[in-house]
Structure formats: C-alpha cells, structure tokens
Amino acid sequence: MIRSNKLPFARPDLTEEEFQAVRRVMESGWITSGPETDAFEQEFAQYIGAPDAAALNSATAALHLGLVALGIGPGDVVLVPALTFTATAEVVSRTGARPVLLDVDRNSYLLSPEIVESFLSTCTYEAGEYRCKEGRVRAIICVHYGGRVCDLDGLFEICRSTGMELLQDAAHSFPSRDGEGKVGRRGPVTAFSFYATKNITTGEGGMITGDQPEIIQRIRRMRLHGIATPAHRRAGWQYDVVEQGYKYNLSDIASAMGRVQLRRAEEMLQKRKQIHEAYQQAFAFLPGLRLCPEQEASAYHLYTLEIHGSSVAQYPNNSEGSATLDGPPRPDASPKQPNEANQLQLQSGPTLQSPASGRSHAGLDRDDFVAAMEESRIGTGLHFIPLYRMSYYMEKYGLRSSQFPACEEIFESIVSLPIYSAMSEEDTRDVIEAVRNILSTTAE
C-alpha cells in the first residue's frame, strides 16, 4: 500500500513548548544574542559535562573557530575523513591550512586510529613533528558519523604522543556517549549542529564545547567581531575590539528553541533508538543488505543500509553485515529478539523471507532502491558523496577514487532511511513495509 502523503526523510520534532519559548523571547524585546543564549550555553555544558560551551550559528562556525583558537594556519595539515560533509574540510582551507583526506574503516564508516597511524607512517618525523609533502601535520578532525563515536581513546593517545590536536565533528552525535559521560566532555574542541535535520534543532545553529575554558572564552569573543564584552553585559556605549573576529553568534530566539529541545533530548533519543531497533530486526533476514553498524553509545542520527543486489552471495542474510564497532562482522551474528521497545515493526508488513529460500534480487542497486522508495512515497538520503568525488576537491588536490577503497564501496551502495523522533509508529511500519516490498518484488 502506497502512502497518501510522502514521508519526508527528516522533519523537526517541535511542540507547543518551543513555540511558547520563542514567543516569550520575541515579546521581551531582546531577540539577538543575550541572556537566553547565556542560559542555553550553561545548560548545554551541564548536560554534556563539559566545563564550558559557546553557542554559534552552525557547527561549521564551531569547527572554524576551534581551528583558529588552536593556532592552525598556513603550512599546517589537518587530517579529515573523506566520508563527510564538505564543511569538515572547508573550515580547514578557510584557515589557510591544508585538509588531507583519509579513507575510513569499512565496517564502522569512522576514521580509526589505525588509519591515522598508517598515514603517519608515510610521513617524516622531525623535531617532534610529523611532516608530509603537504606540510606539518597539526591536527585531526574526527567525524562521529551517524551518531556513532570514533575510538576517542585511540585518537587522543595518538595526539598526546605526537603533539597534534584532536577536534571532534559531532554534528551527528548529540547526545552520543563517550565512556561514562557524553561526547563533548573532553578534548579542546567538539562541534555540535542544531540544523533543521539534527537530533535537536534551532533551525540553524551550533555549539562548541571543550575542556580548556580559555579556548571557549576566546571563541566567545571571536564569534562576534572580537568584541570584548557583548552588548547585553555592557553598562554603557563603550566597547573594545580586542582581536579579529567573525559574525557567528546565535540569537536568543534560536536559543529559546534550543533550551526546550535540550530538555527533550533524552525522550527524542529513545524514540530514534526504538526506530533503529525496529529496522534492525525487520531487515535482519532480507537478502542483499548490509545493516546499519551497531553501537550502544550512538545518538542514532542516521539509519543506513547498504544495497548489495548484485552481491547476494556476499551478503546472503546480513550475517556479514551485522557488524558492531567492537570488531569485524561475526559469521554467527543473529538478530535481536523482540522486546517491548521494538515490537511495532512486527504488527504489519509482509512475512520475512527465510534466508534459506535461495531467492535472489540480483540487479537491484542503490539508485534503483531509492527510486522505488520514492514511488512508495518514502524519502531517503545519501550520507555522503565522498569529498574526493566533488569537483572542487578533485581538481584542487588531484584526488582519485582508487585512493579511498572503503569510502568508495560504502558510497556505491549506501542509503539512509528516515529516523527521527517526529515519526509515528505508522510511519515506521510504512518504511519497513516499503523496504520489504521492494526487495521481495525484485526477488520474484
């Protein structure tokens, strides 16, 4: 059955409380950065467990100012995973430094310590610094793809032993866990996004956290033209510009929405986790799929499938694809048993095909699947077109797909399904039924 209305790939989860908060700020007469933004910063830092936080108008701004505050500039190299949005590398170029793209781990889609160490083994080590042909290797930006957390212990250890800096692109990973706490509680720079499709939203917006308060204080100045004291804290008309700055501040209107969203963060996380579990169970025995990697620490921002219609022998019933981030896929991996949290996907939809039936859907590729989902009126996404495939990076840095075998395999087959807290149980069942129908129809 095809939906009467299209299910969008993403939609913000807003309640009357957000509308009331925005109205309250608008009626106050102070709508730019001010006391509401101060409160949002304090509440966010407390939630994360970080010493301080600074609100900005995007995660892009957060990464840019983080690099500037750490002294990254011309002659420096910053290591960046190729499987990311352009902003992660773009901010490096903006400082005058050079982004060097690295492949990702095939199972987790994350930049791993082993990949970084492999790259460093091709560099020279002089006077306590690693140098490659592009310059001095100063920093790593790791991306917590889809809400899953990179091996931070391993990456921080590399940085401690080499003198490099680790910045975290956490645009997908609020509120992912880092050990006993949350991502953003350690390290000098962690950048969060509150874009319209993110787990909590202010429409446009971002936040930076760090364990060095002096860096966050400097970023707080730089975000608004380098002015020493913001307008809402000044007693008179005098102000001073103490360094070069930017226009990266967040408004009180956005912050009011963000404070409400922050209070609802755990509730919305549990809804996304429930959808993730429903998908994992429903798709476990469908042939030709590689399921979304599992990680308990995840914020469940993305749910991805790999469509391997021409590789059914490689992925017969997803036993090859049920990888966790603790190691490679296990041949004995089996789907989770039903529980109260993921019962909803069992209430409707066609019966799961037995993996022993031998039916094949060879010939179905990712683009066919996306087109069929569109016909079913279900929105999908693609995360991401790797940066080396973008004409700007390809031409500027002379990159080739063959340099990134894992990224290339992932890109050729990956698709993202809707997973957001504003989805109803009926929406989730519709996605499951559409995926099952597409694969069963192709198999006939």
Q: Of 219, 246, 265, which one is at a domain's C-terminal end?
A: 265
pLDDT tens readout for residues 104-141: 999 999 999 999 999 999 999 998 899 999 999 999 99
- Same domain? 280 vs 260: no
Lowest mean pLDDT among 42-46, 143-147, 330-334, 414-418: 330-334
pLDDT at 72 over 90: yes
pLDDT tens readout for residues 337-369: 434 333 443 333 333 232 322 333 457 999 999
- Same domain? 285 vs 351: yes
CATH of residue 57's domain is 3.40.640.10
Lowest mean pLDDT among 15-24, 188-197, 355-364: 355-364
Domain count for the chain, please give it.
Answer: 2
> Which pTM value belongs to this model?
0.89
Asked if residue 313 belongs to a domain, the reply is: yes
Lowest mean pLDDT among 60-69, 307-316, 404-413, 434-443: 307-316
- Same domain? 248 vs 332: no
pLDDT at 232 over 90: no
For residue 197, give every residue at least 6 positions away whose Cβ sits within 8 Å of its Cβ, in sequence order, or none. 9, 10, 12, 420
- Same domain? 248 vs 351: no
Question: In this structure, are residues 336 and 277 in contact, taking their beta carbons and an 8 Å threshold?
Answer: yes
pLDDT at residue 443 in the model:
60
pLDDT at 312 over 70: no
The angle formed by the CA atoms of residues 332, 151 and 92, to the nearest 5 degrees, is: 135
- Same domain? 35 vs 79: yes
pLDDT at 155 over 60: yes
Q: Of 231, 247, 265, which one is at a domain's C-terminal end?
A: 265
pLDDT at residue 333 in the model:
37
pLDDT at residue 354 in the model:
28
Q: What percentage of residues in the chain have a pLDDT greater than 90?
A: 82
- Same domain? 218 vs 287: no
- Of 314, 299, 303, residue with least CA distance to 409: 314
Question: In this structure, are residues 167 and 66 in contact, taking their beta carbons and an 8 Å threshold?
Answer: yes
pLDDT at residue 347 in the model:
35
Q: Of 241, 265, 289, which one is at a domain's C-terminal end?
A: 265
